[in-house]
Amino acid sequence: MSNFVFVLDTNKQPLTPCTPGMARSLLKAGKAAVFKQYPFTIILYKVVNKQEVKPCLLKLDPGSKTTGLGILQGNKLIWAAELTHRGQQIKDDLESRRSLRRGRRTRKTRYRQPRFLNRTRPKGGSAPSLEHRVLTTLTWVNKLIKFCPINSIATELVRFDTQKINNPEISGTGYQQGTLYQYEVREYLLEKFNRTCAYCGVKDVPLEVEHIVPKSKGGSNRISNLTIACVPCNQTKSNRDIKDFLANKPSLLHRILSQAKAPLKDAAAVNSTRWKLFNSLKETGLPVTTGTGGQTKFNRTTQQLEKRHYLDAACVGNTPDLEILTQQPLLIKCAGHGQRQVIHVNKHGFPRLNKTGTKVRKAALIKQVKGFQTGDIVKAVVTRGKKVGSYLGKVAVRSSGSFNIKTLNETVQGISYKYCISIHRKDGYVYGF
């Protein structure tokens, strides 16, 4: 089941999304045209009464590496996507630039005084890799608002005390061990240990919270003393010390102890950006509701849904029985808009070309060739020559007019611009299903 298709009227006002079959019928009948390829949107040749438009709800599951997006109409999931960020790539690029600059200063300008305090972040600012996660998510929220009649947004943010809301008189053990008891801690440990048993590495089996140092020997309930284990390993270890239990496996013992003490940087990235994302969503003018991670997992496991980012997004907040009408989310990967680096260097920081770098500068100045730009998604139907066939993918332009097309499986070189038809203009993202 594919995503529903976004529909615009002739004044570019969003209408109720339709099924792919209905979109094909409108296109064949000449009543609509393709407005955008990703996300697939059609535009009608007439104005539609807005009273017939059904409002939709946009749900978000913000993540450090991937953010889940889901659009619901009532209890029906009609459109879904998974947005992959490039925060780690930004961090690596900044560290590479810093090392290159530092090396160049050492070689060229040793006489200069150190200036390590001349670059300060604005008050309330965050690291570029974290800012990227907020901006890309907000970009897609604004884009979906233009194509779909969204009237509210729900995102995963804070923990709500659901038991106090349902029963204000609850207290003691009944409050501590309620419906969502330990969902937050278990989810943290499952993500930290990649949903595998820390001792035997088995997957797809019931996993239990395990104390590295047993409570009977002074162990605490702190996160650094907890891990995940399958039932047989947990029962075999019992209340033995982990050093005795893994005496014959020193490498595994070292890995578990180091992994237990290591911080979960992805969780830290989400925590540091959640309020900024929430305040940015409020600036859209739509009502924004929130839910907790434990609530999301409870909704997903109750409805027996698999662990996917778009399904987590659909389960955010108060969710009735979901009806999943799409199981093929749009996969969106942030690719950026290229780079400003004119001279490429080797691993030691020295230029790879001659001192002037004329060839690189000429290549960097090429923006468009024959109406095409590097990064555009094109379709090429070659009718003669050695490369006869049909190709769909990203294009890399050359000033000679002979392009390269990168498909899902290969990179085809030497395709003339005469065979290319633009499908989607470059926008800094790579799409797939």
Q: Average pLDDT for residues 315-319, to the nearest whole number?
A: 86
Q: What is the pLDDT of residue 168?
A: 46
Q: What is the pLDDT of residue 58?
A: 95
Helix (H) or strand (E) holding 400, with range, is none
Q: Average pLDDT for residues 140-160, to the nearest whole number?
A: 86
Note the pLDDT tens digit of each residue in 408-420.
788 999 999 999 9
Joined together, the tokens standing for residue 164 give 């106090």
Higher per-residue confidence, 320 vs 316: 316
Distance of alpha carbon 354 from alpha carbon 121, whole angstroms = 36
Q: Average pLDDT for residues 364-376, to the nearest whole number?
A: 77
pLDDT bracket for residue 174 (50, 70, 90): low
Q: Average pLDDT for residues 224-252, to the nearest whole number?
A: 85
CATH classification code of 366-426: 2.30.30
Cβ atoms of 152 and 281 closer than 8 Å: no
Higher per-residue confidence, 228 vs 164: 228
Q: What is the pLDDT of residue 47?
A: 86
Q: Which of 337, 334, 283, 7 is nearest to 138 (CA)?
A: 283
| pLDDT of residue 317 exceeding 60 | yes
| pLDDT of residue 35 exceeding 90 | yes
Instruction: Measure Cα distances from 241 to 217, 224, 228, 234 in Å.
Output: 8, 15, 15, 12
Q: What is the pLDDT of residue 182?
A: 53
Instruction: Specify burial of residue 3 (Cβ count, 10 A radius: 0-12, 13-18, 19+).
Output: buried
Lowest mean pLDDT among 37-51, 94-108, 163-177: 163-177
pLDDT bracket for residue 177 (50, 70, 90): low
Architecture of domain 180-264: Orthogonal Bundle (1.10)
| 150-156/56-61 β-pairing | parallel
Cβ atoms of 75 and 118 closer than 8 Å: no
| pLDDT of residue 363 exceeding 60 | no
| pLDDT of residue 271 exceeding 80 | no
Q: What is the pLDDT of residue 244?
A: 84
DSSP string, 126-170: --HHHHHHHHHHHHHHHHHHHHS-EEEEEEE-S---HHHHH-TT-
Query: In one letter, which amino acid is 54?
Result: K
Distance of alpha carbon 151 from alpha carbon 286, whole angstroms = 6
Q: What is the pLDDT of residue 260?
A: 61
Helix, strand, coil % over all residues of the chain, rounded to 5:
35, 25, 40
Joined together, the tokens standing for residue 323 give 């009806």
Lowest mean pLDDT among 11-20, 295-304, 332-341: 332-341
Lowest mean pLDDT among 108-112, 177-181, 227-231, 398-402: 177-181
| pLDDT of residue 231 exceeding 50 | yes
Q: How many CB atoms lie within 10 A of CB 315?
A: 26
Residue 70: strand pairing partners: 59, 80
Joined together, the tokens standing for residue 153 give 């947004």
Q: What is the pLDDT of residue 219?
A: 74
Q: What is the pLDDT of residue 103?
A: 80
Instruction: Specify burial of residue 346 (Cβ count, 10 A radius: 0-12, 13-18, 19+).
Output: exposed
Q: What is the pLDDT of residue 251?
A: 86
Give residue for tokens 């002739």. Answer: 10
Strands (E), 185-342: 207-211, 226-230, 288-291, 323-324, 330-334
Note the pLDDT tens digit of each residue in 42-73.
999 988 877 778 999 999 999 888 999 999 99
- Going from N- to C-terminal start, the domains of the chain cover 5-52, 180-264, 366-426
| pLDDT of residue 316 exceeding 60 | yes
Q: Average pLDDT for residues 264-290, to the nearest whole number?
A: 84
Q: Average pLDDT for residues 380-384, to the nearest whole number?
A: 91
| pLDDT of residue 108 exceeding 80 | no
Residues 71-84: b if buried by 16+ CB within 10 A, e if exposed: bbbeeebbbbbbbb
Q: Average pLDDT for residues 6-16, to the nearest whole number?
A: 93
Q: What is the pTM of this model?
A: 0.73
Query: In one letter, which amino acid is 14?
Result: P
pLDDT bracket for residue 262 (50, 70, 90): low
Q: Which of 163, 91, 160 is nearest to 128 (CA)?
A: 91
